[in-house]
Amino acid sequence: MNDLYTLASGTPNRPRFNCRVPLENSRQLFLVDGLVQETGKSFSFRLQKGQVMEELLQVIAVRSDEGPNELTYSNELFFGENTFGRLLCCAHAFTQGPVSTQETVSIQLEANAQAEIIVMQHEHNEATHKTRFVVNQAAGSQLKMVFLSLHGASIENNIEVNLQGEHANCDLSGLYLADGQQRIANHLRLFHHVPDCQSSQLFKGILDDEAVGHFSGKITVVPDAQRTDAFQANHNLLLSQQARIHTDPQLEIYADDVKCSHGATVGRLQPEELFYLRSRGIPKKEAELLQQLAFAYAVLEKIPNEILRERMMEMVEKRLRGGC
Amino acid sequence: MLRINDLHASIGDKEILKGINLTVRPGEVHAIMGPNGSGKSTLSAVLAGKDTFTVTSGEVRYQDEDLLALSPEERSWRGIFLGFQYPTEIPGVTNVNFMKTALNEHRKYQGLPPITAAEFLKLMRQKMEIVEMDPAFSSRGVNVGFSGGEKKRNEIFQMAMLEPKLAILDETDSGLDVDALRIVATGVNRLKRPDNATLVITHYQRLLDYIVPDVVHILYKGRIIKTAGKELALEVEQRGYDWLIKEL
């Protein structure tokens, strides 16, 4: 058993914070201002060779009033050879007023490791959160990550993935919702360093009011990385005249036997769909909400755990209804 | 039930309906026939409240209300149902969720509490049987990946769920093979009641072999140029529309 399990399975003090996504059959770990609540140390998650996690580990990072206004911290997620692990990483801010967080998350998957990581970013209107994810994947490893950026003054995700071993598979998807004057950016860099790897990126956003979004995604396939299969898509729904999205998909391919595709769209709610829904008695506002949920669903359905998926759908619905 | 007086409607600068007059009473089935471009689909869209068309003059009374003043959803709650010629695909919204939301909005309007999940599933199964629809469709996205016939069955299924007072079926027969046509028409006939009415809009007579109309109207260039009994449909089938146009 590693440190983490000892920590999470002990009988810690009741956390001071109520989690917004309480899940049955999951272990919870609180990071308060970047440090593990029970130990005061920085967070490091390690699964040793062959370990299989049966439960979901929920890591709840909160900003408290006692922390500095500007906080920087890093943590590490390590999945050894032939391991399987599932994490839900939530970020919340239980503070008044502006706070900014800079976080670095290193994710290492050794040979044939399998990991599912859901990242939920749900702070408040004066919280700035910038995260750099650095992912390295060895041969045959499989990573599935879903990013849900639901609330924050400014959220920025810089995601770098290095596929370093053959037959590694990386599936990234993201849903971002922004309104008011919120800012949300996702910058992805995906490197196919070796042959026979697969990668997929599906990022979708709904922007309202004066929100501004950025998406840039670059897939680099080095000369020897033959038989690469890479996919990237960024789709956006703008609900107001003022909302903006800047999207910049890029492919940089130096190998000749590859399958790569990318696409980006920016659109509005389809009036034909809206009329169809209304003609059946669904009021305009409700019909528009259904359309937005339908748009978001392609990302939410990537969440493997059904209970978690339903919780997340509820949260997204609540958010789209104007709550938080 | 429905009274249309001198209805004019345009899309942009182009006038499509040029003075429609039509009265439908409870229990009646009316067929509206006409060549392509005569305004049949525009008429159905205007009655359902589609805002791409502008009503420039005239009025539509429905159960003693000004129909044109109501939003599409308000019309639906009052019993208007449009069966679409080209049903819209809505990826991500399941048929179950769609119909449950719609039905509960109708119930809310009628002052009823939301239907329970068990009751809803039972009702849905019953109504799917009417159009011989595979229950597997209920968990799929609305009309997504449905064949032409399946989409039309889905329209009649929705009609069965919402039990409209006035159903407007816009070219429900288009794109259907004989079997699908029979299933759809049987569905419509099973939903017929003395207190509801149906407006069947069709290009061809063949649907009227199954859904027998009380009155047939011929629409041409935005006006109803002839109204008669069901024998008119047969005459059109044999002689086409030209003789009617020449009579003008």
Label residue A13 by pLDDT band (50, 70, 90). very low
B48, closest residue in chain A (CA to CA): A279
Taking an 8 Å cut-off on Cβ atoms, the answer to whether A280 and B87 are in contact is no
Tell me the three state secondary structure of residue A88: strand
Contact with chain A for residue B192, Cβ under 8 A? no
- Region A46-63: what's the mean pLDDT? 92
- Mean pLDDT score of chain B: 92
Looking from the CA of A173 toward its CB, the CA atoms found within 13 Å total 17
pLDDT of A15 strictly over 70? no
Taking an 8 Å cut-off on Cβ atoms, the answer to whether B48 and A291 are in contact is no
Q: What is the pLDDT of residue B160?
A: 94
- Which residues are within 8 A (CB) of A200 and not within 5 positions of it... i.e. 6 or more apart? A170, A171, A172, A173, A230, A231, A232
Taking the CA of residue A121 and the nearest CA in chain B, the distance in Å comes to: 23
Question: For A244-293, what is each residue's pLDDT tens digit?
Answer: 999 999 999 999 999 999 999 999 999 999 999 999 999 999 999 999 99
Question: For B141-187, what is each residue's pLDDT tens digit?
Answer: 999 989 888 999 999 999 999 999 999 999 888 878 888 888 888 88
Residue A302 in tokens: 């990537």
Read off φ and ψ for residue A319, nearest 5 degrees.
-65, -45
- Region B200-218: what's the mean pLDDT? 90
Taking an 8 Å cut-off on Cβ atoms, the answer to whether B101 and A297 are in contact is no
Label residue A44 by pLDDT band (50, 70, 90). very high
Architecture of B2-247 per CATH?
3-Layer(aba) Sandwich (3.40)
Domain boundaries along the sequence of chain A: 3-270, 271-324
Chain A positions in Cβ-Cβ contact with residue B106 (cut-off 8 Å): 281
Question: For A105-143, what is each residue's pLDDT tens digit?
Answer: 999 999 999 999 999 999 888 999 999 999 999 999 999
A272, closest residue in chain B (CA to CA): B88
- Which residues are within 8 A (CB) of B132 and not within 5 positions of it... i.e. 6 or more apart? B153, B183
Taking an 8 Å cut-off on Cβ atoms, the answer to whether A279 and B109 are in contact is no
Taking an 8 Å cut-off on Cβ atoms, the answer to whether B98 and A291 are in contact is no
Interface of B with A in 20-49 (CB under 8 A): 48-49
B52, closest residue in chain A (CA to CA): A271
- Which residues are within 8 A (CB) of A245 and not within 5 positions of it... i.e. 6 or more apart? A205, A207, A212, A213, A214, A215, A236, A238, A266
Rounded to an integer, what distance in angstroms lies between the CA atom of residue A29 and that of residue A148?
Answer: 19
pLDDT of A8 strictly over 80? no
Taking an 8 Å cut-off on Cβ atoms, the answer to whether A278 and B98 are in contact is no
pLDDT of A4 strictly over 60? no
- Mean pLDDT score of chain A: 90
- Region B108-135: what's the mean pLDDT? 93
What is the CA A87 to chain-centroid distance, rounded? 11
Rounded to an integer, what distance in angstroms lies between the CA atom of residue A210 and that of residue A242?
Answer: 5
Alpha-carbon torsion (A157, A269, B167, B35), positive or negative: negative
Question: For A205-249, what is each residue's pLDDT tens digit?
Answer: 999 999 999 999 999 999 999 999 999 999 999 999 999 999 999
Lowest mean pLDDT among A161-165, A182-186, B235-239: B235-239
DSSP state of B80: E
- Which residues are within 8 A (CB) of A290 and not within 5 positions of it... i.e. 6 or more apart? A277, A282, B90, B93, B97, B98, B101
Q: Which long-range contacts (CB under 8 A, 24 or more apart) does A264-273 make?
A: A264/A215, A264/A233, A264/A234, A264/A235, A264/A236, A265/A234, A265/A235, A265/A236, A266/A236, A266/A238, A267/A235, A267/A236, A267/A237, A267/A238, A268/A237, A268/A238, A268/A239, A269/A237, A269/A239, A271/B52, A272/B88, A273/B88, A273/B90
Q: What is the pLDDT of residue A96?
A: 75
Interface of A with B in 295-324 (CB under 8 A): 295-298
Determine what percent of chain B is predicted with pLDDT higher than 70.
100
Q: What is the pLDDT of residue B25?
A: 96
Rounded to an integer, what distance in angstroms lies between the CA atom of residue A218 and that of residue B57?
Answer: 56
pLDDT of A323 strictly over 80? no
- Contact B76/A283 with Cβ under 8 angstroms? no
Chain B positions in Cβ-Cβ contact with residue A298 (cut-off 8 Å): 91-92
Q: What is the pLDDT of residue A94?
A: 81
Q: What is the pLDDT of residue A22?
A: 57
Taking an 8 Å cut-off on Cβ atoms, the answer to whether A282 and B73 are in contact is yes
DSSP state of B136: G
Cα angle, residue B202 at apex, residues B59 and B132 outer, rounded to 5° = 115
Chain A positions in Cβ-Cβ contact with residue B81 (cut-off 8 Å): 279
Which of A206, A211, A220, A213 has the alpha carbon at shortest distance from A262?
A: A220
Q: What is the pLDDT of residue A14?
A: 37
Q: Which of A276, A290, A295 lies closest to B84 in CB terms? A: A276
Q: What is the pLDDT of residue B175?
A: 79
Taking an 8 Å cut-off on Cβ atoms, the answer to whether B49 and A297 are in contact is no
Rounded to an integer, what distance in angstroms lies between the CA atom of residue A47 and that of residue A57?
Answer: 12
Taking the CA of residue A78 and the nearest CA in chain B, the distance in Å comes to: 35
Cα angle, residue A210 at apex, residues B92 and A157 outer, rounded to 5° = 70
Q: Which of B51, B141, B162 lies closest to A280 in CB terms? A: B162
B106, closest residue in chain A (CA to CA): A281
DSSP state of B87: P
Residue A322 in tokens: 């104007």
